[in-house]
Amino acid sequence: MNMGSEYKNLRVFVTGAGGFIGSHLVEALVEAGANVRALARYTSRGNWGHLEQLSPEIRNFLEVVLGDVRDAQFVRNHIRGCDVVFHLAALIGIPYSYEAPESYFDTNLRGTLNLLQAAREAGVRRVVVTSTSEVYGTARYTPIDEGHPLQAQSPYSASKIAADKLAESYHLSFALPVVVVRPFNTYGPRQSARAVIPTIFSQLLAGGNLLQLGALEPVRDLVYVSDTVRGFLRAGVESRAVGQVINLGTGQGISIGDLAHVIMKIVGREVPIVNATERVRPEASEVRLLVANAKLAKTTLGWEPQVSLQEGLQRVAEYIGGNMAAFRVSSYAV
């Protein structure tokens, strides 16, 4: 994933760097020659999150800072001197947003406000803000383009809609060079067990005789993480992207039930699927259909997905098979 000379020696700040997509983005930025300051959330354990899984060759070229985007002064201190900012820090688990909605707005909205204000004061060249396809809610039409109405079907999606609109306001009010990237359902190595693909693989690879899932009917547009990262990288340097909201998706949907059977074939085990009530969203909150129209990404960023679903799932199977100790299949990860 070589971006040529576009990122060479650029000073890049990545929030949420210890997360799933963030760690892959950091890896790609270092490989592209960027000077990366990676923000991972502070804990007393001093853990770097998924950054700890990167090779020593990558980690040795990182400046890792531990902190929290909710602290405005902290963000201001560490964004100084940076050229490009990728903002991925967020609380992301939808089920937990039913239990603790205030924490989602505190991190996802206040954290974004702190980031945008600090970037404005620092005069950065580009801010890429991470959105989510969940902001669309159940599709009113497909494929979903960027003009589709926004529907807050969970406290999580409401917090992300608010953050997206805040980013838009900073572009229109203060000419901050913002791009909002809206990935559809990204999957790949390092994704947590709370996501459906790791959930299915880990249960099957653990040898269970049942597969416990929530609703099987929802349809999702699945994007492999390296493709999502390529979209982020393009958004960070393409001048035509400024001020835009840009979907990243394949345009192909698959139901959770059909996905489970595809994964069973990859693993080589067919087991009954059982509906687990704790995994089911409230009826009106369940997003039934998400399939992207990503034409704007193609025309503006020159981006198209490259990894097929079958190839991507094979890579995930290999990763989870080699890291089963990280997955607690006996309990539900919210």
Burial of 165 (0-12, 13-18, 19+ CB in 10 A): middle
More confident call, 278 vs 254 = 254
- Catalytic, 141? Answer no
Question: What is the model's pLDDT at position 331?
Answer: 53
Question: What is the spatial distance between Cα 156 and Cα 96, in angstroms, rounded to a whole number?
Answer: 9
Q: At residue 113, does pLDDT exceed 60?
A: yes
Dump pLDDT digits (tens) for 44-79: 888 899 999 999 999 999 999 999 999 999 999 999
Q: At residue 90, does pLDDT exceed 50?
A: yes
Which residues lie across from 223 on neighbouring strands?
186
Options 7, 136, 156, 187, the catalytic residue: 156
What integer is the mean pLDDT of 149-167? 97
End-to-end CA gap in the chain? 32
Tell me the backbone φ, ψ of residue 257, rounded to 5 degrees.
-65, -45
Domain ranges of the chain: 11-187+224-251+290-306
Dump pLDDT digits (tens) for 280-328: 668 788 899 999 999 999 999 999 999 999 999 999 999 999 988 777 6
Handedness of CA 43, 47, 48, 51 (dihedral sign): negative
| CATH annotation of 11-187+224-251+290-306 | 3.40.50.720
Which pTM was predicted?
0.94
Dump pLDDT digits (tens) for 28-46: 999 999 999 999 999 888 8
